[in-house]
C-alpha cells in the first residue's frame, strides 16, 4: 500500500523498499531577479598585423628586434643597407633643384613680359617648363614614398625636402635606412639576421598591434540573442577585462554551423596575445525568476523537476532552471511565486519506488 500523510510542512511517506518512513520538508518559492552567467572559450586576434617586406634588394646591417618582444612606436628594429635609397634621394634632390630653377625662370620671364621684352610664347614656354619640373619632382617623390612606405611610417615631406636642400644627403640616407616600429607592437616573427641579403618582397619582420585585440566566440544560434544583449568579460587571474561588442552580422563556421561573435578588448597591456584561447564570461540581462533551494531541483531523464505541493498531495513539475547561486537555484519557468516545493526528500521521491504514485506534469 502506498500513501501520503501531510503534517503541516512535513509529510511522512512510507518506503516499500526500505520499510521506513520518508520525511519530506516543503518551502515556499520566492520571486526575485537573476542575471544569467555563462561562459565559452574565445580566441584572441591581433588588432592588426603588418609584415614588413624588403621593397628593393637590400642587406641587413644590424638587428635590434627580438622575437616576442614588445616595442614602442618609433623603436629601432633594424639597420639596413639599401643601395637604391641613395639614388632615389639624389634624384629627388635634383628634381627639387630643377623646380627652383623653373620658378626663377618663370619670374624672370614675367618681369620681362611686363617690360615688353618677352612674348606671350615665352610665357607659355616658361609655364610648360615649370609644369614639367613639378611633374618630375612628384615622380621622384612617389618612387621614394613607395619604397619607404613598405618599411614603416613615411617621414614628413617638408622636413625631408628641407634637409635635402641643406645638402645633408648622407645623413638623411642613414636615417631613412633605420627600420622603426610603425606602431606599438609585439614582434611576432623575426625573419632576418645580421648580414642577410634580401630580394625585393622577402619578409623582414611580422609585427602585431596588441594595443587592442579582437576576441571571437563561437555560439549556437539559440544563444546569439542573449549574448548580444549581455555584458562580456575575460578573466585574467584576479583581474577582469571588459569586452565591448563589434556590432556586425556573425560569421557562420562551415564545419560546425556555429555563429562567431566578435568583441574588442581595450588596453590589454600585453596580457592577451594573438592566437591565445581565453575564457569569456557573459552576464545576460536580468530576468524575473523564482528562487528555490538547491535540494528542491532534481534531474530525471535529462530534465529537471520540482515536487510541487497540491491540495491532494504533490505533483512533479518540469522546470527550466539556471545554475546554482549560493545554495539557491533560479527557476525560469514551471513554478509561480507562492508555490510550495519539496526540499528534503525530493530526490528520494523521484528516484525510489514511488513512480506509480506521481503524475509527471511537463
pLDDT digits (tens, 9 = 90+) for 189-215: 999 999 999 999 999 999 999 999 999
User: Looking at the domain that runs over 5-32+288-361, which CATH code has it been given?
Assistant: 2.40.420.20
- Say which residue, 278 or 18, is predicted with more confidence: 278
Query: Is pLDDT of 6 > 50?
Result: no
Answer yes or no: are the C-beta atoms of 48 and 181 closer than 8 Å. no
Query: Is pLDDT of 225 > 80?
Result: no
Percentage of the residues of the chain whose pLDDT score is greater than 70: 90
Long-range contacts of 219-228 (CB under 8 A, 24+ apart): 219/40, 219/250, 219/258, 219/259, 219/260, 219/261, 220/258, 220/259, 221/259, 223/38, 224/250, 224/259, 224/261, 226/36, 226/282, 226/284, 226/285, 227/261, 227/282, 227/284, 228/261
Give residue 26's Cα distance to chain centre: 49
The kind and range of the H/E element at 258 are: none
Q: What is the mean pLDDT of residues 85-114?
A: 94
The kind and range of the H/E element at 243 are: strand 239-245
Answer yes or no: are the C-beta atoms of 157 and 92 closer than 8 Å. no
Q: CA-CA distance, 132 to 139, in Å (whole number)?
A: 10
Parse the chain into domains and list their residue ranges: 5-32+288-361, 37-47+210-283, 83-176
Q: CA-CA distance, 295 to 151, in Å (whole number)?
A: 66
Find cell 592588426 and name the residue: 48
Q: CA-CA distance, 32 to 238, in Å (whole number)?
A: 29
β-bridge partners, 42: 217, 278
pLDDT in tens, 306-348: 999 988 888 889 999 988 999 999 999 999 999 999 988 788 7
pLDDT in the model for residue 276: 93
| pTM of the full structure | 0.66
pLDDT in the model for residue 22: 67
- Domain 37-47+210-283 adopts which CATH fold? Elongation Factor Tu (Ef-tu); domain 3 (2.40.30)
Query: Is pLDDT of 245 > 60?
Result: yes
pLDDT in the model for residue 354: 42
Confidence bin at 359 (pLDDT 50/70/90): very low
Amino acid at each position: 500500500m502506498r500513501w501520503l500523510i501531510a503534517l503541516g510542512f512535513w509529510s511522512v511517506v512510507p518506503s516499500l523498499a526500505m520499510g521506513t518512513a520518508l520525511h519530506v520538508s516543503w518551502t515556499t518559492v520566492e520571486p526575485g531577479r537573476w542575471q544569467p552567467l555563462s561562459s565559452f572559450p574565445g580566441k584572441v586576434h591581433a588588432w592588426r598585423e603588418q609584415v614588413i617586406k624588403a621593397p628593393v634588394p637590400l642587406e641587413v646591417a644590424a638587428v635590434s628586434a627580438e622575437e616576442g618582444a614588445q616595442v614602442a612606436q618609433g623603436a629601432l628594429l633594424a639597420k639596413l643597407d639599401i643601395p637604391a635609397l641613395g639614388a632615389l634621394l639624389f634624384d629627388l634632390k635634383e628634381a627639387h633643384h630643377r623646380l627652383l630653377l623653373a620658378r626663377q625662370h618663370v619670374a624672370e620671364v614675367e618681369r620681362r613680359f611686363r617690360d615688353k621684352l618677352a612674348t606671350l610664347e615665352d610665357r607659355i614656354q616658361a609655364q610648360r617648363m615649370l609644369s614639367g619640373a613639378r611633374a618630375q619632382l612628384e615622380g621622384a617623390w612617389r618612387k621614394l614614398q613607395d619604397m619607404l612606405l613598405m618599411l614603416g611610417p613615411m617621414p614628413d615631406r617638408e622636413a625631408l625636402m628641407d634637409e635635402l636642400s641643406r645638402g645633408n644627403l648622407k645623413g638623411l640616407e642613414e636615417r631613412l635606412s633605420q627600420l622603426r616600429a610603425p606602431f606599438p607592437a609585439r614582434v611576432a616573427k623575426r625573419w632576418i639576421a645580421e648580414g642577410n641579403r634580401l630580394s625585393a618582397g622577402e619578409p623582414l619582420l611580422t609585427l602585431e598591434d596588441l594595443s587592442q585585440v579582437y576576441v571571437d566566440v563561437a555560439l549556437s544560434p539559440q544563444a546569439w540573442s542573449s549574448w548580444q544583449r549581455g555584458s562580456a568579460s575575460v578573466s585574467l587571474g584576479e583581474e577582469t577585462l571588459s569586452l565591448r561588442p563589434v556590432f556586425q552580422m556573425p560569421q557562420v563556421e562551415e564545419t560546425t554551423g556555429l555563429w562567431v561573435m566578435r568583441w574588442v578588448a581595450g588596453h590589454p597591456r600585453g596580457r592577451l596575445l594573438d592566437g591565445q584561447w581565453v575564457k569569456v564570461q557573459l552576464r545576460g540581462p536580468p530576468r524575473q525568476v523564482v528562487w528555490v533551494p538547491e535540494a528542491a531541483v532534481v534531474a530525471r531523464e535529462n530534465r529537471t523537476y520540482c515536487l510541487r505541493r497540491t491540495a491532494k498531495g504533490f505533483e512533479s513539475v518540469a522546470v527550466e532552471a539556471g545554475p546554482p547561486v549560493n545554495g539557491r537555484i533560479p527557476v525560469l519557468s514551471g513554478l509561480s511565486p507562492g508555490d510550495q516545493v519539496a526540499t528534503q526528500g525530493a530526490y528520494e521521491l523521484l528516484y525510489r519506488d514511488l513512480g506509480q504514485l506521481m503524475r509527471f506534469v511537463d
